[in-house]
Amino acid sequence: MLLVHAPVYVILYTRLGLASQTIRDPDFEVKEYLNRAIDARSIDQLRSENIHPFTLTFSKHELEIKVSNKLISENVTDEHIVYIVYRFLCFLSGYVFG
């Protein structure tokens, strides 16, 4: 296995047989950390703009409807998947043990 553009420590870890462990590039880790920080800041900004701090309710009724419809549609999809898996397991247990 030839690592062409890999840092020296990655090549060393590979030759020593330690490559099965997670090896991450420091630049990648910094970018990942910054992306998580940006996401957290944007969530905080949206929360401060659209939610009352003491009552924890939405300031606009339209936004509340939008969020609740999205959550309901996700729950309905999850319930359908659970039902399909349940029916499959019932069929499988009837076939194996019946």
pTM above threshold 0.75: no
8 A C-beta contact, residue 73 and residue 66: no
**Higher-pLDDT residue of 2, 76:** 76
- Enter the DSSP assignment of 19: T
- More confident of the two residues 11 and 51: 51
In tens, the pLDDT along 27-37 reads 878 888 888 88
* pLDDT at res. 38: 87
Distance, CA of 42 to CA of 50 (rounded, Å): 12
Inform me whether the pLDDT recorded for 41 exceeds 60.
yes
Position 14: which residue type? T
Confidence of residue 86 (pLDDT cuts 50, 70, 90): very high
The residue to which tokens 């969530």 are assigned: 43
Residue 19: φ, ψ to 5°:
-70, -15
Q: Where are the domains of the chain?
A: 1-50, 56-98
Residue (of 48, 70, 50, 66) closest to 58 by Cα position? 50
The whole-number average pLDDT for the span 42-67 is: 83
Model confidence at 87: pLDDT above 90: yes
